[in-house]
Amino acid sequence: MTVAAAQQVEALRGQIRRHDRLYYVEASPEISDREYDALVKHLEHLEAKHPELISLDSPTQRIGDQPVPELHSVTHRVPMLSIDNTYSVEDLGAWGRRVEKLLHEEGQVKEAKGHARQPLEWVLELKIDGVAVSLTYEAGLLVLAATRGNGVVGDDITHNVRTIPGIPLRLDLDDPPATVEVRGEIYMTNSDLVVLNEEQVAKGLPPFANTRNVAAGSIRLLDPRECAARPLRFFCHGVGDVGGLGVASQQELLAWAVQAGLPVAPGTEAFNSLDALIDHASTLIEELHDLDFEVDGFVVKVDRFDQQRRLGTTAKSPRWAIAWKFEKYEATTKLAGIRVQVGRGGTVTPVADLEPVELAGTTVSRASLHNADEVARKDIRVGDVLVVEKAGKVIPHVVRVEKHLRTQRRKRWRPPTECPECSTPLVKDRDGVYIRCPNVDCPARRRERLRFFASRGAMDIEGLGDKLVEQLVARDLITDYADLYSLTVEQLTGLERMGAKSAGSLVTQIAESKAHGLARVLNALGIRHVGPRVATILAQRFPTIEMLQSATVEELAEVHEIGDVIAASVHEWLASAYGRRVIEGLAAAGVRLDLPQADRVMDGPLAGKTLVVTGMLKHFSRQEAEAAIRQAGGRASGSVSKKTDFVVAGAEAGSKLEKAQKLGVPVIDESEFMTMVGGEN
């Protein structure tokens, strides 16, 4: 009976650990909370009948029975240094140049000794607004958890950390290292804080101010049962010492962490250049509202550990990492109402009308609610008290509802089923969260299209402001882009705040915009998934509108950085009756629909070819090799795919070389590369 019970206990523990991993690490749970709780209850029942089978790493042993008398000090094996901060792109770039200079100078010394330099890659991670901790595992078992403290000495919080379900009590590894000190951030989600504050108020206790305060206070409690009642979570972002793990970079470390069953923050990516990282991060910041946890910036790291060691540290901070933070401001106000606005692509977005509140030096009276699903997920109702946040230059958004202040029943908000402007039935994206007005002639869509068309990044018609666009559409003077180019001074002079001089200046600006060329026009048209970079790539590959219109979806998708989704969107728009009408109208108005010769990719021996550089070259730095590719008419890429024409492999080439060989992509050495680009060897 004991043998059978032991087997059943181990099987249950294995199931529970598997479901913990699916939920906390892979974010793809297979069972409901109720089914999970039933597994734990079954295990508790068996262990109660057979106490000799209880082990410290059992999922039932997370919460101790007694509080600890006090928190004891712990000395970190490797100091937990703080990371320097910057709030500007300029300072981030300056830091990156210092790093490159230090590594380059050392690289020259190594080359003189016959060693090859290593390529430099950067890793971008979300900066979680939580509490830093270290976790020590011995033979795979969690034996110690500690706060950062002063970086050298922290507090022992093992009794509380064991209560956090996302932290494995045993690493999910067949052959765990003898000792490993994992580092990361303990945090709480906004939705969990909403529920916790409701419970606090129901008990007659004060609500918590924010998620970070809850996390910081909870992990220092003496009674683990109190900590267990607060739904804390954990993300791994590093280790104290990588000596025994056999990993060579931050990317490899995070892959090891996931394999071991440790949760890792989403959105982590590696880049060959700091400029590419900054471009990506600047876009990513607009999507942070989708996260249910607080982020106050990004952490940028040098990827390779050998380069990190060579860069070293100052007295307080590593030279190989920096926190790129943005100012965050929060305020509390009441939701007066929810309205919807229709964008140029037809997206219907709910907007919160707020009681005016001071936020980051400005008065805020509205905030984006992004989509109907987010309103439902956060359970936002008219009359609620909301926490509103503004981070950097991003427009304000709602962080959470202070549900504990909801004193009466309020109706759930229902999204509209018809367009508020043209009454067309709305449609929801397939497998998406957005609802859209499909009517391309919707007055709201027309206004927003014209506003974007005239914006600085598009056709740059400075005098065509929002108020003027509204008047032009309301009076039916403009139905689409081409109508702009037939406007007269007389028509404009009759509009509000438009004198003869202003009208004449605007007509001149509109006429001058005709010469901007195909790339600017493609961006200005507002085709879904097409921004300035994609527009430029398409225009360089198909330098006339006729060539672009005749391209198939497959031909579009073959263009580097385009892919199937963008290709389908562009092809569908160009082939539609509306798209053809717009292009014909612009052509008739005399708008230039080709790429100026000066902007075209120059011809050369690598014209139309995509190359990837990997490893260390003797005569080129990575940047110099990629510049040579572009000068020869080719395209330099940072990743290998079936569309890659050649991989240039130098000394100590790694995974990119292996991928090229697996895909059958031709591999050339530096000598062959120099011949290709017209250099001497």
Residues marked active site are found at: 127
Give the C-alpha separation, 485 to 512, whole Å: 10
Give the amino acid at 220.
Answer: R
Q: How far apart, in Å, do the first and last CA atoms of the chain sit?
A: 78
In sequence order, which residues have a C-beta less than 8 Å from that of residue 188 and are 6 or more positions away?
130, 196, 211, 214, 215, 230, 231, 232, 233, 293
SS (H, E, C) 119-169: CCCEEEEEEECCEEEEEEEECCEEEEEEECCCCCEEEECHHHHCCCCCCCC
Helices and strands in the chain, H and E counts: 25, 22
Yes or no: say if 29 and 19 are a contact pair by the CB < 8 Å rule.
Answer: yes
Q: Alpha-carbon distance 197 to 191, whole Å?
A: 10
Give the contacts of 175 (CB within 8 A, at least 6 positions apart).
none
**128 DSSP β-pair partners:** 295
Report d(CA 498, CA 502) in Å as an integer: 6
Tokens of 499: 């004198």
Strand partners, 155: 73
* Phi then psi dihedrals of residue 468, to 5 deg: -70, -40
Q: Cβ distance 393 to 286 under 8 Å?
A: no
Smallest CA-to-CA distance from 24 within 39, 36, 34, 42 is with 36
How does DSSP assign 405-462, residue by residue? G--S--PPP---SB-TTT-PBPEEPTTSS-EE---TT-HHHHHHHHHHHHSTTTT--T
CA dihedral 353, 355, 359, 364 (to 10 degrees): 40
Count CA atoms closer than 13 A to 662's CA, side-chain side. Answer: 8
Pair 19, 31: CB distance under 8 Å: yes
Contact yes or no for 39/8 (Cβ under 8 A): no
Residue 67 DSSP SS3: coil
Torsions phi, psi for 261 (to 5 deg): 90, 15
User: Could you tell me the sign of the dihedral formed by the alpha carbons of 536, 279, 367, 192, in that order?
Assistant: positive
Local structure of residue 45 (DSSP, 8 states): H
Tally of CB atoms within 10 A around 355: 12
- In which residue are the tokens 């940072």 written? 638
Give me the long-range contacts of 310-318 (CB less than 8 A, separation at least 24).
310/102, 310/103, 310/106, 311/99, 311/102, 311/103, 313/81, 316/81, 316/82, 316/151, 317/81, 317/82, 317/83, 317/84, 318/81, 318/83
